[in-house]
Structure 1
């Protein structure tokens, strides 16, 4: 792995400040033991050490663990910071700590398996009454009513030369895309965003997530897909968000397209069901289904998109 990925994390001052603020609220200088899970270059573990943690265990299984080791040495933090070059779930009889912190979040919140990791951490790493950061994550979605990204994805239609590229077009529309949205792209300027899933980290153990939400439109509009983002409560009172209007981070929103735009009249509704499944072995699977209902609640059309359909066989 190139260091560039980690540079983008270190450059995210909003993220860094939020985690620093959360750690400062729970660390008791000279007393608190901390586990930094997925430590990367060691930033959060070193923050904890600077804040007075008695002991910090840094778990990192990737090659960047070597950078973390050198960084700990450069900061003369070797007395408190102990690098464990393994995944936290692989550690036999791990030392118990007062605080577990893990920034293993992606544009899709759970693509790095933070649910499984922190469920194991609560069971085997954390002392009774200890703190997990982040504490919980809410996942949001809202219809996209701008054709801006849709036009980008259906370029297959305009290649010309008498060619039919509809097979590739369909595959393009069965992918999730990292994009940034503005209020103009979203239904009701994004104010209609709804929570479709909430996870309490450490307690919830299901890597398979499913949620269903719907919107009734008060005027005729065309829906091209759905925007996704998350909010993470690091601790009570400190929240990190990837929403379009939130302070900018290195994360962006996701776009879940429709294969065919849905044109809804006033009083009609659209429902979306979102499903995900994440595991260390199989990676992240995403699927979403949208249904267009008329004013009387009868289904007018249904579309089912699946990330697996977007892979080239």
Structure 2
């Protein structure tokens, strides 16, 4: 897109479509399996459906779905009776979203294959929904996206979904995660793979944790960061957390999770006591296990 050019949303109704589409610009296939994983997450889908259902007034509410992917959330908004739904998606998946929109006959929805921040003067809407949450919640730039969307897309009195995100951290006491990453010590044959082990431990992993994998059965989780999207937020996040042990314990790393308040009545979270989602949690291994005594930080 040329900088400064006004984006005109194209209503897909009546546009000729084909049964195939081109590869992405770098020649790789479209990431359809990633989007299949998202749509297979029933916990995610149900939470966003409840959130949209609670705020859409049929025939009146206008909605923007930013980072629309296949268009699922925008399509749900249309099915719930939104007066107009604008979908913004910069990736090649937008072509599939167009086909799906036409296939589902959602005439009040329209798609622009463009990054929302490149839209100079968009039509403002009552509700902005953006499911651009990652395993680390902000890895898909949702903070910058909603900073811009709130200022340029949202009508007076409108609302954002999600409203806020809070991040949590908890020490990992389950030894199995450490054993998995230090298997280098057991290669044998009089070979030392210590440098490879350090590389494995200097990494971040997506894992699912049961409560007993975490300190005090996950009750020791501490909130270290909170972002409310009703104001401008910094994209770099900094926080602190500390714990005081009540018995001897071995720490193997930290688990990171988050809780997203979609609306005042709907929350989506990735904690060990919450329904399992495709996001799971992040595991940050310790380079070596940490032995703590009672009443030690």
Q: TM-score, length-normalised on structure 2?
A: 0.88
Corresponding residue number in structure 2 for 1:188: 216
Corresponding residue number in structure 2 for 1:26: 55
Q: CA RMSD in A?
A: 1.0
Q: In structure 1, which of residues 95, 108, 112 is the aligned counterpart of residue 140 of structure 2?
A: 112
- Where in structure 2 are the equivalents of 1:215-234 lying within 5 Å? 215-234=243-262
Structure 2 unpaired stretches of 5+: 1-29
Q: What is the CA–CA distance in structure 1 between the aligned matches of 2:230 and 2:111, rounded to whole Å?
A: 22
Corresponding residue number in structure 2 for 1:310: none
Corresponding residue number in structure 1 for 2:122: 94
Q: What is the CA–CA distance in structure 2 between the aligned matches of 1:202 and 1:160, rounded to whole Å?
A: 56
Corresponding residue number in structure 1 for 2:79: 50
1:198-221 Cα offsets, whole Å, 9 max, x none, are 011252421100110111001000
Shift of 1:2: 3.0
Shift of 1:34: 0.5
Given that residues 133 and 234 in structure 1 are in contact (C-alpha distance below 8 angstroms), is that contact kept between their aligned partners in structure 2? Answer: yes
Given that residues 115 and 202 in structure 1 are in contact (C-alpha distance below 8 angstroms), is that contact kept between their aligned partners in structure 2? Answer: no
- Where in structure 2 are the equivalents of 1:9-88 lying within 5 Å? 9-78=38-107, 80-88=108-116
Shift of 1:168: 1.8
SS of structure 2 residue aligned to 1:211: coil
Q: TM-score, length-normalised on structure 1?
A: 0.84
Q: What is the CA–CA distance in structure 2 between the aligned matches of 1:202 and 1:116, rounded to whole Å?
A: 13
Per residue, is there more strand in 1 or in 2? 1
Given that residues 34 and 97 in structure 1 are in contact (C-alpha distance below 8 angstroms), is that contact kept between their aligned partners in structure 2? Answer: yes
Corresponding residue number in structure 1 for 2:12: none
Corresponding residue number in structure 1 for 2:25: none
Corresponding residue number in structure 2 for 1:253: 281
- Where in structure 2 are the equivalents of 1:198-209 lying within 5 Å? 198-209=226-237
Shift of 1:7: 1.1
Given that residues 217 and 265 in structure 1 are in contact (C-alpha distance below 8 angstroms), is that contact kept between their aligned partners in structure 2? Answer: yes
Given that residues 120 and 202 in structure 1 are in contact (C-alpha distance below 8 angstroms), is that contact kept between their aligned partners in structure 2? Answer: no
Q: What is the CA–CA distance in structure 2 between the aligned matches of 1:203 and 1:254, rounded to whole Å?
A: 27
Q: In structure 1, which of residues 213, 236, 243 is the aligned counterpart of residue 264 of structure 2?
A: 236
Structure 1 unpaired stretches of 5+: 270-313
1:20-51 Cα offsets, whole Å, 9 max, x none, are 11111111111111000011111110111111
SS of structure 2 residue aligned to 1:214: coil
Given that residues 227 and 233 in structure 2 are in contact (C-alpha distance below 8 angstroms), is that contact kept between their aligned partners in structure 1? Answer: no
Q: In structure 2, which of residues 32, 43, 60 is the aligned counterpart of residue 3 of structure 1?
A: 32
Corresponding residue number in structure 1 for 2:152: 124
Q: What is the CA–CA distance in structure 1 between the aligned matches of 2:285 and 2:220, rounded to whole Å?
A: 18
